Structure 1
Amino acid sequence: MVTEEFYAVSWNVEHNGTDTNGSAERWNLAVDVLTQLRPHVLLRQELTRADMHGQRMVWAEARRLGNHTPFLATATPESANPTGVYVDRDLFDPVQFFEHHTNIWHPVCNPVVRLKGASKDLALASFHLCSYDPATRAREAKRLTVLRRPGVEAILGGDCNSEPHRLHDETAEPTDWSRVEDRGLFEARTIERGGKRVTDTVPDEILAGEHDGQPPVFVDLAHYAATVLGQQDPDPLTPTGSLWRTDQGPRRRIDRIYATPGIAGALIRVEVIVTEEVIAASDHAPVLAVFSLPELRRVLTPESARAA
């Protein structure tokens, strides 16, 4: 459905909502949540074994969402949890599809679309950074920067498995690793800096850090909503995971949506959806970014085309 607002959602649904006993109850619940959110673009992670049976579950989810076209990245021998993107055909025309999978854990799903009534392409990307190795996460974040080509606008979102780098203005305090029982998580989520083990914020530094007075490659939309737009209710910096584990310390904002600065200028608000249904469906909360559709169309229509 076309409205004056554009909705983009990123959500890691744990193992695609399927359990070891074959139950798809969580998947059905997750899709119910998504149909209520009505995303025009859905960036999905952990589409576990969704390539099986002719991608049957992928197409079933697309039908439930409405008139959506799905794109599925390739699973790897290391992980059967590929990323995917669903695009509302009432609003967008797909024009290209890319996968990025050089020396990274999960290939990046990267369709390129054209907003109806606009003349400039929009790159979309769903990513899932490595859960266990900070060096791989940094390499994956570097790979995502190829989406910031001159003249290209982009929206990308996913599970970062690492924390934001602007710790001073986040809602949550920095992780106190002495209080985290899961020592495997400590190894996976920390790096050495100045002779000490500290929380890994490198991927966010790469994607949204300001260096030598230069603007960031991408804008962290939740941070933008909280600081530039002054959004307070609902809090856009609400932590997203883990919603299930109690041995990993407090929840952290590890799921994030980024965009090029022009697209960020069309942002209205960001919401993190934490409900009983969400918690029953997945260990991560979905992140919803709401944009002004007229402003998005303006950003995606160059001055020369508007003048014509």
Structure 2
Amino acid sequence: MNSAVTTTDELRVACWNIEHNGRPNKPGDPDRRPTARKLLSELRPHILLRQELTGADADGSRALYEEATQIGGLIPFMAPATPESPNATGVMVDPEHFEVASSHDQITGMWHPACNPVVRLKGCRKPICLASVHLSPWDPTQRASEARRLTFLANGGRTALFGGDMNSYPHRVETESVELPDWDAVKNTDPGHYERRTIERGGRRVPDTVPDEVFTGSGIFTELAHHAATVLKQPDAMQATASLWRTDQGHRSRIDRLYCTPDLAPALLRVEVLDEDPVAEASDHALLLATFSLQSMRRILLHSPT
């Protein structure tokens, strides 16, 4: 793992789906939570977008608060789990840099409710609408609906920053360096995955890229890794993110992504995809780390209309 915490004027945003929150799935499985928390504490993100906070609401959300404290005294938020999925989403923010304006759970129409706190960078009037997102793993139609619902994050000129497991693929294939799975092979090894991750267009089955089209096709949001690769000339920003463990669903794909409203994009310094140990010991998903210029972000928020 190459990334290291610096003392420069940077603001770090981490996004990570830790499978089932690192808890043992069956007897004999290791508890991966200490590894994940140690790694995050070393990275010291100022904003952490988490998916699969499975079981973190038990005992008065004890595990949620333990994680936030161990990472660096962050303020945690968590959307509720549902009968369909115990894998809750969460957001944690650094109180040294941010003040909390409000907190919301976007539940209607979402397979996994999206955790949606609104924060202010200290000294700035305009807030940032944050969200941790985990789109439906089962249904492309559901994912498309969820993506359209999430466009509200940018309504009325709001500044937004969100990310998560999109369970779908980037749509600008001409700029992608990661090939898509061999769907004929996947159909043979995991036909259910084939059905859930492809859609019909022009009489043939193609990968589901609709959520990314909704987010970026009309310019509502900027996809941070794409911006880093094409504008900042950082091709490694578009590395694959999952699965780090499974091989029966095709090779790794770029299903975990970060987005922001276009006003924040000029403040982006770099995007890193961390997929080596200890990340791969803790989860089947790579960890995304986006680093912004704190000074540039502050300038943007100070001069933007509220």
TM-score (norm 2): 0.94
Q: Which runs of 4+ in 1 moved over 2 A?
A: 20-25, 302-305
In the TM superposition, residue 20 of structure 1 has moved relative to its aligned partner by 2.9
1:176 to 2:182 alignment:
yes
1:16 to 2:17 alignment:
no
Asked whether the equivalents of residues 159 and 256 of structure 1 are also in contact (C-alpha less than 8 Å), the reply is yes
Asked whether the equivalents of residues 155 and 260 of structure 1 are also in contact (C-alpha less than 8 Å), the reply is yes
Q: Indicate the SS of the match to 1:300.
A: helix
The alpha-carbon distance between structure 1 residues 41 and 303, as it changes in their structure 2 partners (threshold 3 A), is closer
Asked whether the equivalents of residues 148 and 154 of structure 1 are also in contact (C-alpha less than 8 Å), the reply is yes
Amino acid across the alignment from 1:59:
Y
Deviations 1:166-198 (A, max 9, x none): 111111123320122211110110001011111
The alpha-carbon distance between structure 1 residues 178 and 144, as it changes in their structure 2 partners (threshold 3 A), is same
Aligned to 2:97: 91
Aligned to 1:257: 258
Amino acid across the alignment from 1:292:
S
TM-score (norm 1): 0.93
Asked whether the equivalents of residues 6 and 291 of structure 1 are also in contact (C-alpha less than 8 Å), the reply is yes
1:191 to 2:199 alignment:
yes
Amino acid across the alignment from 2:233:
G
Q: Indicate the SS of the match to 1:149.
A: helix
Paired residue total = 298
- How big is the alpha-carbon RMSD for the aligned residues of Structure 1 and Structure 2? 1.6
Deviations 1:79-128 (A, max 9, x none): 00110000100010011001111122010100000101211101100010
Structure 1 unpaired stretches of 5+: 211-215
Asked whether the equivalents of residues 222 and 256 of structure 1 are also in contact (C-alpha less than 8 Å), the reply is yes
Aligned to 2:168: 162
Partners of 2:279 and 2:253 lie apart in 1 by: 16
Partners of 2:96 and 2:265 lie apart in 1 by: 22
Aligned to 1:105: 111
Aligned to 1:274: 275
In the TM superposition, residue 2 of structure 1 has moved relative to its aligned partner by 7.7
Pick from 30, 39, 63 the counterpart of residue 57 of structure 1: 63
Deviations 1:15-40 (A, max 9, x none): 00001347772011111111121110
1:201 to 2:206 alignment:
no
Amino acid across the alignment from 1:165:
H
Q: Indicate the SS of the match to 1:197.
A: strand
In the TM superposition, residue 249 of structure 1 has moved relative to its aligned partner by 0.8
Pick from 120, 127, 132 the counterpart of residue 121 of structure 1: 127
1:222 to 2:225 alignment:
yes
Q: Indicate the SS of the match to 2:215.
A: helix
Amino acid across the alignment from 1:287:
L
The alpha-carbon distance between structure 1 residues 303 and 261, as it changes in their structure 2 partners (threshold 3 A), is closer
Partners of 2:211 and 2:25 lie apart in 1 by: 32
Partners of 2:149 and 2:91 lie apart in 1 by: 18
Partners of 2:7 and 2:92 lie apart in 1 by: 15
Deviations 1:123-168 (A, max 9, x none): 1000100001001000110111000122311110000000000111
The alpha-carbon distance between structure 1 residues 304 and 156, as it changes in their structure 2 partners (threshold 3 A), is closer
Partners of 2:42 and 2:144 lie apart in 1 by: 34
Asked whether the equivalents of residues 75 and 106 of structure 1 are also in contact (C-alpha less than 8 Å), the reply is yes
Partners of 2:24 and 2:140 lie apart in 1 by: 28
Partners of 1:144 and 1:303 lie apart in 2 by: 22
Asked whether the equivalents of residues 71 and 84 of structure 1 are also in contact (C-alpha less than 8 Å), the reply is yes
Partners of 2:82 and 2:180 lie apart in 1 by: 33
Asked whether the equivalents of residues 136 and 142 of structure 2 are also in contact (C-alpha less than 8 Å), the reply is yes
Asked whether the equivalents of residues 67 and 90 of structure 1 are also in contact (C-alpha less than 8 Å), the reply is no
Q: Describe how 1:118-157 pairs up with structure 2 within 5 A.
A: 118-157=124-163
The alpha-carbon distance between structure 1 residues 24 and 101, as it changes in their structure 2 partners (threshold 3 A), is farther
Partners of 2:7 and 2:73 lie apart in 1 by: 11
1:72 to 2:78 alignment:
yes
